[in-house]
Amino acid sequence: ESKNHLAGTLFIGLLVIACALSAYLIGMHIQFVVEGQTGGFCDLSPGLNCNGVIASEWSTLFGFPLPAYALGFYAALLALTLVRAGADGARDPLARDITVVALLGGVIWSLVLLVVMIAIVGVLCPICLLLDLTGIGALFLASRGAAGGIRGSLSRIGPVLGGLMGASGLITVVSGTAVFLAVVWFTQAQLQQADWEAPVPPEAAYNIVIDYPTRHALPGHESAPAKGDPQAPVVIVEFSDFQCPH
């Protein structure tokens, strides 16, 4: 019993770590959008860094970064464990079975993302790898607390869901949802890639004519910081607002 409680405590700890890693990745996405790059220990080498993955067209789904879905996923499992199953899963075995099956799907999805990073993006995200390992560890501990392991959870969850909508309906819903998400994700990535790789027309195609007035100082701001020849025929004045969020 003490071993089960210890495994359950470790399992909850892994879910908390997964939530923290997901939130950290979301913060890196925001930093990349604002500053154009990320920093820190995540950028280890050209083939092992977060910038390359975050900047790719495969890092979002429905306009939201993929870590946002991971955060919701692991937070939901953490709440289910704390509220229904308990640390050792004995309070509500069905809730533990649901957790095991959900984590199995999450691990399969993580493997798909790993293949995309290796085969298409060509860059590995270290934090993403840590998140994948955390999910695998959580699945291992959760399956130990379920009778019959992963196979036992699948055998018990299948009839429950099948009784709600029928076996054929369950298969149709699950497979249809998976195919829909895969098609949307792939299509969105291709559209973004096509938009990024679209050729930029030469400047002459825009037919832009800029008439710079001859000005050596900005009236009322003669003491403002300046750089260059004060007698230059063209003066560029930059207005800065350090409180602007953009």
Would the CA dihedral through 129, 135, 138, 142 be positive or negative? negative
State the helix-helix crossing angle for 66-80 and 126-144, rounded to 10 degrees. Answer: 20
Per-residue pLDDT at 188: 63
E strand or H helix at 7, and its extent? helix 2-35
What is the number of other CB atoms lying within 10 angstroms of the CB of residue 41?
Answer: 8
Per-residue pLDDT at 213: 45
Q: How far apart are CA 193 and CA 21, in angstroms?
A: 27
Per-residue pLDDT at 56: 81
Whole-Å CA distances, 100 to 38, 53, 80, 81, 189? 34, 28, 12, 11, 30
Per-residue pLDDT at 83: 81
> Which of 112, 113, 101, 110 is CA-nearest to residue 132?
110
Q: How far apart are CA 85 and CA 115, in angstroms?
A: 33
State the helix-helix crossing angle for 66-80 and 93-116, rounded to 10 degrees. Answer: 160
Average pLDDT of adjacent 10-residue blocks, the chain of 246 residues: 73 94 89 72 78 82 86 91 65 80 89 86 88 93 80 76 49 59 65 56 54 50 67 75 63
Token code pair at residue 23: 């939130």
pTM comes to 0.67
Alpha helices in 119-243 (DSSP H): 126-144, 149-165, 167-196, 203-206
Token code pair at residue 153: 């959870």
Q: Facing residues of 17 across strands?
A: none
Per-residue pLDDT at 155: 79
